[in-house]
């Protein structure tokens, strides 16, 4: 396993759900972690209190100066940046056949965070990651990027863009930075807490007979950090759901 003692990580969107669990696992392995969210400041501060060696920084990744401030804060507080987890994301629930509701304003809103926000974080952080000689970027994508499914067409398309960004950056930023992505299936987080029917469908169809937990995704992230010969990959973590759906 890679020694994460004194490594420094940013996890965007880590006041709850998948991001909070990734931050927790990084800290358990000895990393110093910056917790982030754009609105839920008290939840972010609470998360930081419960995660050792972490600090909270409020920043909206769709805003370039916020991204810059988040990275500057991390480097000034902890001295370097080794790991960037681009987890923050948003969606809108729009049935795929309701074409009229997915107007361009929705596309822009989702792409601002999921695509442009992820790009801004990568492009502003890569010099710091490169300096460490062993940098890691891991993007949190979605099953919707790989299969014709997901909460809306703009969301699914945004995550497909994240996958391609992952591969192109991996090709460009090696050998000093590895870039990978994890594509979760349906995961039990605040995001999906009202999606009872979807959880029932996954429990019925997936070979593993349940929705995922944040820990299931965080384990893949930790595995990618430890897999020093893997770059440019998108790892699906869906309990096998896509085999039967
Ligand atoms: N849950 C699932 O089934 C599932 C499946 C596939 C993929 N994913 C992906 O997993 C990631 C995390 O989702 P989750 O389920 O853990 O959701 P969650 O519990 O709702 O967490 C989302 C986090 O992102 C933050 N965030 C949202 N917009 C942000 C912005 N502009 N800048 C900074 N932070 C922002 C939220 O805080 P604020 O709102 O306060 O900013 C929150 O901390 C997302 O990228 C999502 O697309 C989730």
Q: How many domains does the chain have?
A: 1
Atom 46 of ligand 1, nearest CA residue? 89
Asked if residue 115 is part of any domain, the answer here is: yes
Q: Tell me if 60 CB under 6 Å of ligand 1.
A: yes
Q: Check if 155 is active-site.
A: yes
141 phi and psi angles, rounded to 5 deg: -95, -140
Asked if residue 244 is part of any domain, the answer here is: no
What does the alpha-carbon distance between residue 191 and residue 185 come to, in Å, rounded to a whole number? 13
35 CA distance to ligand 1 middle (Å): 13
Per-residue pLDDT tens over the stretch 163-221: 999 999 999 999 999 999 999 999 999 999 999 999 999 999 999 999 999 999 999 99
Q: Tell me if 142 CB under 6 Å of ligand 1.
A: yes
Asked if residue 97 is part of any domain, the answer here is: yes
Range of the domain at 55: 8-239
Asked if residue 22 is part of any domain, the answer here is: yes
What is the structure's pLDDT at 214? 99
Asked if residue 245 is part of any domain, the answer here is: no
Q: Which helix (H) or strand (E) holds 45?
A: helix 41-50
Per-residue pLDDT tens over the stretch 57-92: 999 999 999 999 999 999 999 999 999 999 999 999
pTM for the full predicted model:
0.99
Q: Tell me the average pLDDT across 22-44.
A: 98
Q: What is the CATH number of the domain that holds 201?
A: 3.40.50.720
Asked if residue 3 is part of any domain, the answer here is: no
Asked if residue 2 is part of any domain, the answer here is: no
**Is residue 34 within 8 Å of residue 67, measured between CB atoms?**
no
């Amino acid at each position: 396993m890679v020694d994460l003692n004194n490594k420094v990580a940013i996890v965007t969107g880590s006041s709850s759900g998948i991001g909070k669990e990734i931050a927790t696992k990084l800290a358990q392995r000895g990393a110093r972690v910056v917790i982030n969210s754009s609105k839920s400041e008290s939840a972010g501060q609470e998360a930081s209190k419960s995660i050792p060696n972490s600090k909270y920084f409020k920043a909206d990744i769709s805003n370039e100066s916020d991204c810059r401030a988040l990275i500057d804060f991390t480097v000034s507080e902890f001295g370097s940046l080794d790991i960037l987890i681009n987890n923050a994301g948003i969606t809108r629930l729009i049935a795929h056949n309701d074409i009229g509701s997915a107007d361009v304003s929705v596309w822009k809103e989702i792409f601002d965070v999921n695509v442009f926000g992820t790009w801004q974080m990568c492009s502003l952080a890569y010099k710091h990651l490169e300096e460490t000689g062993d940098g890691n970027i891991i993007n949190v994508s979605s099953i919707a990027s790989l299969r014709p499914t997901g909460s809306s067409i703009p969301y699914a398309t945004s995550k497909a863009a994240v996958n391609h960004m992952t591969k192109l950056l991996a090709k460009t930023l090696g050998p000093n930075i590895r870039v990978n992505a994890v594509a979760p299936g349906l995961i039990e987080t605040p995001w999906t807490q009202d999606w009872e029917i979807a959880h029932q469908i996954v429990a019925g169809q997936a070979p593993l007979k349940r929705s995922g937990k944040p820990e299931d995704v965080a384990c893949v992230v930790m595995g990618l950090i430890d897999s020093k010969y893997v770059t440019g990959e998108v790892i699906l973590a869906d309990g096998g759901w896509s085999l039967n759906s």
